[in-house]
A and B are shown apart, each in its own frame.
Chain A
């Protein structure tokens, strides 16, 4: 593992505190403007797929859209299960099992 892990952790801690403390310490009486609230609500909806889909679809700098990409099947499984409100651990475990199985037979 790389040598700057603690530096990254401290940086993450500072960055996260910066999202929690300023508004809280200011004890702001007025709520944020509606469009800012809308934006902040949408950020996770944009960030999470941005994190996940390249991990699923990009292999070694190339697009892996074929049926033989195990991650594609795993993604479908976890998405459908979680959307049906199956709990997080079970959804993720099922997807991981599917990926492991497909890798084993490939």
Chain B
């Protein structure tokens, strides 16, 4: 394998890749479990093992994958699912823009690969450890998190095949439950509550009127745009917890 670095670029500081892995170990169990829950529920919902693993490797963005499964089952149009995925994952722009300057000197092919590994947990790890973010700590963390997620999904797929009649055990409710848990940990300030409650009300109203699950994208964009216009900008840089 060729070096990811272009000629003349700064080599990694000793041990930073390993530091990234070690710093992420505290998050590995929860990412593993998150993957397991997804793998199990997705198989239960009727996706094949190959589809569940393929989605996890190709998309590698937990929240949007959780979003897609009930939409697939519920017969939402393909375009609605893809657009919803895009909106759910738009937060990556923020992380990519913050990380990018640290990766000057990396070959473009490697940048294209590393970009695929951008995830909330590794971003939180690297930003907490180094300013500007150290690319090697980030890379080590991304490998640990990605590994934990994919292995978790594989285990979940194996376990998920064991349960029959998921509705009887309330397992279909696990999808909204995951979304609500992800919201609950992000609500810190009054503005967060206003946005979340506003989105809930608008989404329920639209869901009663619009076909094909379009209420998700419409609500997500309209409520976030309105809130971003109205709220003071100093809300922009508050520390946030990883979402998915």
Q: How far is the CA of A47 from the CA of B233 in the complex (A)?
A: 20
CB closest chain-A residue, reference B196: A49
B25 at the interface (CB under 8 A from A): no
CB distance from A106 to the nearest CB of B (A): 12
Main SS at interface, chain B: helix
Given the contacts A11-B78, A16-B85, A43-B91, A96 and B51 also touching, CB distance less than 8 Å? no
Q: What residues of A have a CB within 8 angstroms of the CB of B182 in the complex?
A: 44, 48, 82
Which bracket fits the contact residues of A?
A: 35 or more
**A31-B98, A32-B94, A34-B237 known; A71 and B173 CB under 8 Å?**
yes
Residues of chain B contacted by A9 (CB below 8 angstroms): 51, 54-55, 58-59
Cα of A7 to Cα of B100 in the assembled complex, Å? 30
Contact of B97 with A49 in the complex, beta carbons under 8 Å: no
Which chain B residues lie closer than 8 Å to A32 at the CB level? 93-94, 97
List B residues 79-119 near A (Cβ within 8 Å): 79, 81-94, 96-101, 103-104, 108, 111-112, 114-116, 118
Which residues of chain B come closer than 8 Å to A42, judged between CB atoms?
A: 195, 223-224, 227-228, 231
Q: A1-B46, A51-B67 are in contact. Are A38 and B91 (CB under 8 A)?
A: no
Given contacts A42-B224, A57-B204, A61-B208, is CB(A52)–CB(B34) below 8 Å? no
- A residues 12-45 touching B (CB-CB < 8 Å): 12-29, 31-32, 34-35, 37-45
A38, A53, A63: the one within 8 Å of B231 (CB): A38
Distance, CA A48 to CA B88, complexed state (A) = 8
Q: Which residue of A lies closest to B237 (CB)?
A: A37
- Whose C-beta in chain B lies nearest to the C-beta of A98? B170
User: Distance (Å) between the CB of B88 and the closest chain A CB?
Assistant: 5
A31 nearest CB neighbor, chain B only:
B97
A27 vs B34: C-alpha distance in the bound complex, in angstroms? 31
Selected from A7, A11, A46, A85, the residue in CB contact (under 8 A) with B199 is: A46
List A contacts of B87 (CB < 8 A).
43, 47
In the complex, chain B residues whose CB is within 8 Å of the CB of A23:
93, 96-97, 100
Contacts of B86 in A (CB 8 A): 15-16, 18-19
